[in-house]
Structure formats: C-alpha cells, structure tokens
Amino acid sequence: MTEEKQHILEIYDVENDPVPNAVKVEGVGVVYGPEGSKYYILRTEEPLSIEGVAVSELAVRPHYEGDPVERASESVCTVGIAYGPRGSGYAPGEQYGFNDFIFWRVGKICPCPPPEH
C-alpha cells in the first residue's frame, strides 16, 4: 500500500478507559505477524493513553477467521486492536513476533468518505 487512507476506528467497551469510543486514524501500511498473520497499521491523530502508555500507532487485523487484511483497509470490518509494547511503533513491510503485539480491544474500522471538491 503506497497511499495513506483515512478511517474511523470505533473502539468497543471503553466505558472505564480514558480513550474515546471513535478515533480518526490514518492507514500507513501492513506488517507481518506471527504464524503468517498480517496487521494493518493505523496512526492516530493524537496519542491515546492506554494503561498509562502514550500510543500513536495501532495494529489491527480482521476479527473473523478467513477475512484478509485488505478488508480492514478497504471496507467496513470488525477488527482486533493491538498496540506495541511501551507504545512502540511498526515499520510497514517488516516481520514481528508474538511479543510485539499487545491485544487490547475489538472494534470496527470504516473508511472515511473522500473529501468533496
């Protein structure tokens, strides 16, 4: 993926967390995780405070078995949401292991409509 895409990420079950239930994010690429998994990397407009850690990148992958990662980048999709240890980020195209993802929530990603001209 070469062009960055704008999305809205709805985050489920945040009643007791200091994070909004919907954030505007920018897709920055795909990384490779353990066991052949792929994650779509999202950059937040402002860092989120997750368990006392400032997080500005999230890693999402489709929640349902068999859905390709492209579904998260192209359409409405239920996703598992993770972040890096100590708020670390990800480099698109790189390989990461189990310890590089802290699973946090489930949510829904939706593409933002293109700007009107």
Number of domains in the chain: 1
Six-digit token pair at 99? 């310890």
Q: Is residue 116 part of a domain?
A: no
Q: What is the mean pLDDT of residues 31-42?
A: 95
Q: Is residue 84 part of a domain?
A: yes
**Which residue bears the tokens 């919907």?**
22
End-to-end CA distance of the chain: 24
* 2 vs 8, residue with greater confidence: 8
Q: Is residue 117 part of a domain?
A: no
* 87 vs 68, residue with greater confidence: 68
pLDDT at 1: 41
Q: Is residue 104 part of a domain?
A: yes
Of 18-22, 33-37, 38-42, 56-60, the range with the lowest mean pLDDT is: 18-22
Residue 5 pLDDT > 50: yes
Which of 105, 53, 63 has its CA nearest to residue 84? 53
Q: Is residue 64 part of a domain?
A: yes
Structural domain boundaries, residue 52: 5-111
Q: Is residue 25 part of a domain?
A: yes
Mean pLDDT estimate for the chain: 90
CA dihedral 66, 71, 32, 5 (to 10 degrees): -170
